């Protein structure tokens, strides 16, 4: 159980603002932190990591990380941090990057196995692709078996295919290690796939919180439209089926018949369209 109740004055692009976050996180939860840029997401992660100071308190399983008297240094917090720009140790090979954290060869090999990096274990980071680097970074963050895994837009620099692959790996790692995780993300399909809860920040304050479906779903009116999307899920509700489709950065629900369900496959690209209502003329 992680209890966060912090505040900090920030000098953002919109002038001065107050970051004020009160949040309780259960063990094994996967939280997605969303919101416009400059809303304080990264700062919140950095405060949790101990890289920036703040007022208030952070408690993790009855261990005080921060209160008015003390602030536990990042070295002692046992966290994993995945940076957007990987931040690998350039002078060390893939395996050395992992072993630098903890000399646990067995764990390192297992992580490299899960992320399919075993072949690359002796390569230097600058010979790897972005996706490979981020997988190394993810493995490195898991090496000290963290109490809390923090990820700052880990997949935003990668192409869509690599994103999907890494999302799967993150899910695998989360299931295997059960690490409480907070991930900054803007991508609705990513949040839907990975997170059990979404917290939306705006100008330093929590403006929305709930399960991804409720927060991300935005139903539009009766506009005539056609657009491409990705089928994320099909949910049975009473007698009908609802397809959940990610279109651009939004999720939509579409009612589908049982025949249609049989033809659809999750992960498939689909096009969603609606016809205009027939005009009615009255005298």
Partner 1 sequence: MIEILQTLDFTPFILSFKLAGLTTIILFMLGMPLAWYLSQTSSKSKPILEAITALPIVLPPSVLGFYILWALSINSPIGAFFEETFGVKLVFNFTGLVIASCFYSLPFMVQPLQSGFESINKNMLEASYISGKSKFTTIIKVALPNIKPAVITAVIVTFAHTVGEFGVVLMVGGSIPGETKVASVAIYEFVEIMDYESAHVYSGIMVLMSFIVLLSVYIFNAKHNQKMGSFR
Please give the residue ranges that form the binding site for partner 1 (CB under 8 A): 49, 51, 73-81, 83, 85, 87-91, 100-102, 126, 140, 143-144
Q: Which is nearer to partner 1, 96 or 202 (CB)?
A: 96
* Least spacing, CB of residue 245 vs partner 1, in Å: 36
Pick the closer one to partner 1 by CB: 150 or 247: 150
Return the structure tokens found at 106: 């067995």
User: Taking the complex as a whole, how short is the minimal distance between the CB of residue 13 and partner 1, in angstroms?
Assistant: 20
- State in angstroms the smallest separation of the CB of 79 from partner 1: 6
Helix (H, G, I), strand (E, B) or coil at 179: coil
Q: Residue 94 or residue 191: which is nearer to partner 1 going by CB?
A: 94
Enumerate residues 6+ apart whose C-beta is below 8 A from 221: none
Among 190, 129, 118, 110, which Cα is nearest to 154's?
190
Conformation bin of residue 78: beta by default, left when phi > 0, alpha when psi is -120 to 50: left
Beta strands in 124-264, from DSSP E residues, in sequence order: 148-152, 180-184, 197-202, 205-210, 226-237, 240-247, 250-256
Q: Residue 218 in contact with residue 250, Cβ under 8 Å? A: yes
Closer to partner 1 at the Cβ: 84 or 250? 84
Sheet holding 250-256, edge to edge: 250-256, 240-247, 226-237, 269-273
- Indicate the residue among 81 and 192 with the shorter CB distance to partner 1: 81
For partner 1, give the closer residue by CB, 128 or 216.
128
- And the tokens for 240? 């009908």
Least CB distance to partner 1 at residue 274 (A): 46
Give 67's contacts (C-beta < 8 A, 6+ positions apart).
Answer: 56, 57, 58
């Amino acid at each position: 159980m992680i209890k966060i109740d912090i505040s900090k004055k920030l000098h953002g692009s919109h002038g001065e603002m107050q970051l004020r976050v009160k949040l309780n996180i259960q063990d094994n939860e996967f939280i997605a932190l969303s919101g416009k840029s400059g809303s304080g997401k990264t700062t919140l992660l950095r405060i949790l990591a101990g890289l920036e100071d703040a007022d208030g308190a952070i408690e993790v399983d009855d261990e005080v990380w921060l209160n008015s008297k003390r602030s536990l240094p990042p070295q002692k917090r046992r966290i994993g941090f995945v940076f957007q720009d990987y931040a690998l140790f350039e002078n060390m090979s893939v395996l050395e990057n992992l072993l630098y954290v903890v000399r646990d060869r067995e764990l390192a090999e297992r992580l490299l196995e899960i992320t399919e990096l075993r072949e690359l274990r002796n390569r230097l980071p600058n010979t790897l692709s972005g996706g490979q680097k981020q997988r190394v970074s993810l493995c490195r963050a898991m090496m000290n078996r963290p109490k809390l895994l923090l990820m700052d837009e880990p997949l935003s620099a990668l192409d869509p295919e690599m994103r999907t692959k890494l999302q799967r790996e993150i899910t695998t790692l989360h299931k295997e290690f059960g690490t409480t995780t907070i991930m900054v993300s803007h991508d609705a399909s990513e949040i839907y796939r990975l997170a059990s809860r979404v917290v939306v920040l705006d100008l330093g304050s929590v403006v929305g919180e709930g399960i991804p479906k409720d927060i991300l779903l935005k139903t539009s009116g009766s506009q005539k439209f056609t657009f491409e999307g990705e089928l994320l899920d099909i949910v049975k509700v009473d007698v009908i089926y609802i397809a959940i489709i990610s279109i651009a950065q939004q999720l939509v629900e579409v009612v589908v018949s049982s025949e249609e369900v049989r033809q659809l496959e999750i992960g498939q690209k689909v096009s969603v369209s609606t016809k205009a209502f027939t005009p009615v003329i009255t005298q």
